[in-house]
């Protein structure tokens, strides 16, 4: 396949490197120094320092040339590896390259809700393109491990079967397994809201509340995710799979999780501004939390952990007080939650 990956951050680079083992892949990025390092030293020093990338991976700083690498080819794919905040702009740029009738299958890697609109990625795509198109490659995955070729399993989520098959063809090789799913809403909600739960789990671990508390938080966090997902039209059982519990467990417990690190540093008493500067990368849970809180309120969905995370992030509530608020909730049956 001819594949173009747009976005040379950690995840875009890792996916491009993996796909280049079996396909002709071009990686587009904004930072010339990063592209030069990948081309000359087979390494992305900013996001994946010390990890050697496949020698066949090509880089391109010209957006139009990168896009055209995957046009006019019967076996091709566009992969959007940009953050959620850049999804709309990237789609608009692609429309300037070619009309949608000429596009190859489209895949996005971002997880979250668009700030300002509250839209999921597939809704942003539909709004920009005027019709449903493409799908999400998602699931429990740290970029550094994928780039190193360690085992991983992902979900190819789309209502369109040819799009799912294109994702499988592009990524299902070496140590990476890809499973098809037609519930795009469930996959996207799971991938987005788990980042908020990872912030909460980081706070829990940072306050040294114990493994019992962590297990309870993760489990009740999934209950929140399911309630929101179903309210948005997802199938509840989707959240039992890779893009639900799989992604939640990894992000809440893995040391490579940026969102968990946010929670750990909040528990240390650091300010959000300081934390984000130290991270140097996007922590989608921070951007996602207020959007999800507002969306839950509109839909009448009870999300107490999400509310507590928002209170700590943006309302001046201390991590300890946020935990106390959760513990002070009235007792009820587990089914009622």
Kindly list the catalytic residues.
194
What is the rounded CA–CA span in Å between residue 33 and residue 11? 18
Q: Which of the 8 DSSP states describes residue 173?
A: B
| Residue 124 is labelled as binding a ligand | no
Nearest 10 degrees: Cα torsion 232, 225, 156, 121: 50
What is the rounded CA–CA span in Å between residue 28 and residue 13? 9
| Residue 179 is labelled as binding a ligand | no
Burial of 266 (0-12, 13-18, 19+ CB in 10 A): buried
| Residue 139 is labelled as binding a ligand | yes
Q: Which of 132, 111, 115 is nearest to 123 (CA)?
A: 132
| Residue 141 is labelled as binding a ligand | yes
Q: Are 137 and 113 in contact (CB under 8 A)?
A: no
Task: Please name the residue that has the structure tokens 């992969």.
Answer: 79
| Residue 258 is labelled as binding a ligand | yes
| Residue 145 is labelled as binding a ligand | no
| Residue 108 is labelled as binding a ligand | no
| Residue 143 is labelled as binding a ligand | yes
61: helix, strand or coil: coil
Question: Which residues sit opposite 140 in a β-bridge?
Answer: none
- Relative to beta strand 152-157, strand 135-138 is antiparallel
**Distances in whole angstroms, Cα of residue 97 to Cα of each of 8, 165, 183, 274:** 20, 25, 30, 39
| Residue 180 is labelled as binding a ligand | no
Q: Which of 142, 227, 223, 139 is nearest to 187 (CA)?
A: 139
| Residue 127 is labelled as binding a ligand | no
What is the rounded CA–CA span in Å between residue 128 and residue 115? 16
- Relative to beta strand 58-60, strand 76-80 is unpaired
Q: Which residues sit in the known binding site for sn-glycerol 3-phosphate?
A: 111, 139, 141, 194, 247, 257-259
Q: Which residues sit in the known binding site?
A: 11, 30, 47, 111, 139, 141, 143, 194, 247, 257-259, 282, 284
Q: Which residues sit in the known binding site for NADPH?
A: 11, 30, 47, 111, 143, 258, 282, 284
């Amino acid at each position: 396949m001819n594949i173009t990956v747009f976005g040379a951050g950690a995840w875009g680079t890792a996916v491009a490197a993996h796909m280049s083992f079996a396909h002709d892949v071009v990686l587009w990025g904004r930072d010339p120094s990063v592209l030069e390092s990948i081309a000359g030293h087979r390494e992305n020093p900013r996001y994946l320092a010390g990890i050697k990338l496949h020698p066949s991976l090509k880089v391109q700083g010209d957006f139009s040339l990168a896009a055209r690498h995957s046009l006019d080819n019967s076996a091709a794919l566009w992969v959007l590896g940009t953050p959620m905040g850049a999804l709309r702009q990237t789609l608009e740029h692609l429309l300037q390259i070619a009309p949608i009738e000429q596009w190859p299958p489209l895949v996005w890697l971002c997880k979250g809700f668009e700030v300002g609109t509250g839209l999921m990625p597939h809704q942003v795509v539909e709004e920009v393109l005027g019709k449903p198109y493409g799908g999400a490659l998602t699931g429990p995955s740290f970029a550094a491990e994928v780039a190193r070729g360690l085992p991983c399993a992902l979900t190819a989520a789309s209502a369109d079967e040819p799009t799912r098959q294109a994702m499988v063809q592009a990524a299902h090789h070496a140590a990476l397994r890809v499973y098809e799913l037609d519930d795009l809403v469930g996959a996207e909600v799971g991938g987005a809201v788990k980042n908020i739960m990872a912030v909460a789990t980081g706070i829990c671990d940072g306050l040294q509340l114990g493994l019992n508390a962590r297990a309870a938080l993760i489990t009740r966090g999934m209950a929140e995710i399911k309630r929101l997902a179903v309210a948005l039209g997802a199938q509840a059982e989707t959240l039992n799979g890779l893009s639900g519990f799989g992604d939640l467990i990894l992000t809440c417990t893995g040391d490579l999780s940026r969102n968990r690190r946010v929670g750990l540093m909040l528990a240390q008493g650091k300010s959000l501004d300081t934390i984000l500067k130290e991270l140097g990368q996007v922590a989608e849970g921070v951007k996602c939390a207020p959007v999800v809180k507002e969306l839950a309120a509109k839909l009448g969905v009870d999300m107490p952990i999400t509310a507590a995370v928002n209170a700590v992030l943006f309302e001046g509530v201390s991590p300890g007080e946020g935990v106390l608020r959760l513990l002070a909730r009235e007792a009820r049956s587990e089914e009622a939650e």
